[in-house]
Structure 1
Amino acid sequence: MMETLEGISWGVTDRIGRIVMNRPDRANSISLAASRALCQAIDAVLSANPHVVLLSAEGRIFCAGGDIDEFASAGDALDVLVDDILDHLHPALHRLTTAPMPVVTQVGGSVGGAGIGLALCGDFVLATESMKLRTGYVSIGLSPDVGASYFLARRVGELRAQQWLMLGEPVGAAQCLAAGAVDALFPDAELAGATEDLVQRLARSASGSLGSIKRLCTDALGRSLKAHLELEHELLRTCARSADAREGVRAFVEKRPPCFGVS
C-alpha cells in the first residue's frame, strides 16, 4: 500500500522500498511542500529497513529541479525559501544515501537542477536512451543544491562536473553513459522492467552483505590500508555470525540458490 502526499508516493513491500515523484504536470519540480513530503517518504521507507530502495518518477521528466514559479513568487525572500527547503531536504538526502541498503534510481526522462542530485544519488543509476541532463543553475544565477555537484563530481570527475555545471548545456544519454554519470541505458519501454529485475535481485540478497560492501567501498580511498583491513575484518566477523551466512554456505555446498532473510 502506497501513501501519497504533495505528489510524492512511498511504501515498502517484499523488502523493496519505493519512493515515486508524481508531479508530472509540474515536471516533478521540488516545491517547499513536495520537499517536505519527500523527507517524510525517505524517513518512512528507511524506518521499515528494506533490503533496497528505489527512487523513480512519473512522466517524461524525472525532475526539473526547484519549482521556479515558487522561486519567482518568493521575490526578495528567495534565500528564506531556499533555507526552508534545504534545511530539511539535505539531511534527508544524506540519510538516504548513507543508509546501509543499496539505492537504485530509475531516470525515465530528462533531469535538471536539483533533480540531478536525486537522479545520481543512487548506487545504481538506470536511465532511458532519451534522457538528457540539463544543469541549468547558471542560467538563473544560482549554485547547485541537493547534492547535484557532489554526486555529479563523484561519478564523472571534478573537472568535468565543473564544466557541465558552468556551461549549463544539455548532455545526452550516450555522453552521460560514457562519462559514468549513469550506469546503464535502456529503450524507454524497457527501463521499468530492467529496473524491477535489478531491485528484485537486490531484495533477495543478504542485507548484511550488501550493507558491509556499501560501507567498505564508501570512502575506501580515504582510509589507510591498515584501517581498511581492520574494517574488513570487523564486518566479515559480524556477517559470519549471521543466519544469512550459514544459509549461504549451506546453499553453496548443496548447489542450490540461497534463501536469505529467513531465520
Structure 2
Amino acid sequence: MRSNEAPILWRVENRVGHLVFNRPEAANALNSASGPLLADAIAQAQRLAERGEIGAVLMSARGRQFCAGGDIEEFVERRADLDRLVGEMLDLMHPAIHALATLPLPVVSALQGPIGGAGIAVALSADIVLASTAMKLRGGYSAIGLSPDLGASFQLVRRAGPARAKNILMTNRPLAAEQCLAWGLVDELYAPEALASAALALAEGLAQGATGSLAGIKRLCDGAYGGDLKAHLALEREALLRAARSDDGREGVSAFIDKRAPRFGRASANTT
C-alpha cells in the first residue's frame, strides 16, 4: 500500500534528527521526487547542527529494504536523455551527500534490510552503521551498465579496502549481514526486532554527549584517512555521466525492467 506521507521524512526528538526513507512500496529507491527532499532534510540537519540544536542524526527506513539505490523505473522512462536525468540528480545529491558525511556531529544509520547502489552510499556515510541480521548488500551498478555515485565507491573503499570494494561492485554478488560485519561494512548486528531500539538508544546517547568533542573526533578520524570526498565525487560524476550516455547504460536499465539478461558491449565505445 502506498503511503500518503512524503517519501523522505524529517523530525527532531530528544536532540536527535531523524531522517527516514519512506517509499517502502518502491524499496525506498531514490528518484527525482525523493532526491530533493533528502537534500532538504540534510540541509536542515546541517543548519540545526551549526546552531547546536541537535546532537546526532539517525537514518532509518520504513519497509523491508533500507534503500535499493536509484529508481530504475524512472531511468527507463528517461532513457532517451538518461545522462541529463543523472546529471541533474548528481548536481543536487553530491553536495548533499558531502554535507551529510561531514556533519559536525555523529550520524548513525540503522539498516533493517537490503541496501544497494546509492543506498550503499547513504548508509555508509554514517559514522556508525548498525544492521539487522536480515540486512544484505549488493553493488548493483555494473549489472545495469552504470558506475557508482553519491560516494558509494569511496565509502566501500574506506571501510573494506579497494580489493573488496572492486569485488562488491564488479561481481554484484550479494553479501549477507554477517559477511558485511566481517568486512567492516557495518559495525554491529542485531536481531531484526532489536535494531530500532538499539539504534535509537545509541543516537540519543551520542546526542547528549559533548558535541564539540564528538565533532573533533569525527574531523580528526576522517582527516586521518587522507581521502578527498569532494574530488572523488567529481570523478564519480564524470564516470557515471559517461556511462549514462552509453548504449550499455541504456541497455542495462531496459533489460532490468524487461527481466532479461542485458546485452552489453554492442557499442561500448560510445562513452563520449
For 1:28, the equivalent position in structure 2 comes to 28
Task: Check conservation: 1:66, 1:114, Cα contact below 8 A.
Answer: yes
For 2:44, the equivalent position in structure 1 comes to 44
Task: Check conservation: 2:58, 2:200, Cα contact below 8 A.
Answer: no
Whether 2:206 is the aligned partner of 1:202: answer yes
Whether 2:110 is the aligned partner of 1:106: answer yes
In 2, Cα distance between equivalents of 1:221 and 1:165: 21
- AA aligned to 1:167 is T
**Structure 1 residue 207 displacement after superposition:** 0.4
In 1, Cα distance between equivalents of 2:212 and 2:223: 19
In 1, Cα distance between equivalents of 2:193 and 2:27: 20
For 2:155, the equivalent position in structure 1 comes to 151
- Per-residue CA deviations over 1:62-83 (Å, capped at 9, x if unaligned) read 0011110100000220000001
For 2:133, the equivalent position in structure 1 comes to 129
Whether 2:53 is the aligned partner of 1:81: answer no
By relative contact order (CA 8 Å, sep 6+), the higher-ranking structure is: 2
- AA aligned to 1:88 is L
Task: Check conservation: 2:141, 2:147, Cα contact below 8 A.
Answer: yes
Task: Check conservation: 1:6, 1:33, Cα contact below 8 A.
Answer: no
Gaps of 5+ in 2: 228-272
Q: How does 1:226-237 map to 2 (within 5 A)?
A: none
Work out which of the residue numbers 62, 66, 81 in structure 2 matches 1:62. 66
Task: Check conservation: 1:64, 1:115, Cα contact below 8 A.
Answer: yes
**Number of residues paired by the alignment?**
220
Structure 1-normalised TM-score?
Answer: 0.81
For 2:261, the equivalent position in structure 1 comes to none
For 1:141, the equivalent position in structure 2 comes to 145
**Structure 1 residue 5 displacement after superposition:** 6.9
- AA aligned to 2:189 is L
SS of the counterpart of 2:146? coil
**Structure 1 residue 110 displacement after superposition:** 0.4
- AA aligned to 2:19 is I
Task: Check conservation: 2:118, 2:150, Cα contact below 8 A.
Answer: yes
For 1:161, the equivalent position in structure 2 comes to 165
List 4+ stretches of structure 1 deviating above 3 A.
none
In 2, Cα distance between equivalents of 1:150 and 1:59: 27
For 2:7, the equivalent position in structure 1 comes to 7
Gaps of 5+ in 1: 224-263
- Per-residue CA deviations over 1:126-181 (Å, capped at 9, x if unaligned) read 00001110111111000011111111110001111011100011011110000000
Q: How does 1:180-199 map to 2 (within 5 A)?
A: 180-199=184-203
Task: Check conservation: 2:57, 2:107, Cα contact below 8 A.
Answer: yes
In 2, Cα distance between equivalents of 1:222 and 1:131: 29
SS of the counterpart of 1:125? strand
For 1:248, the equivalent position in structure 2 comes to none
Structure 2-normalised TM-score?
Answer: 0.78
**Structure 1 residue 6 displacement after superposition:** 3.8
Q: How does 1:215-254 map to 2 (within 5 A)?
A: 215-222=219-226
Structure showing greater Rg: 1
**Structure 1 residue 222 displacement after superposition:** 3.8
- AA aligned to 1:148 is A
Task: Check conservation: 1:138, 1:165, Cα contact below 8 A.
Answer: yes
**Structure 1 residue 45 displacement after superposition:** 2.0
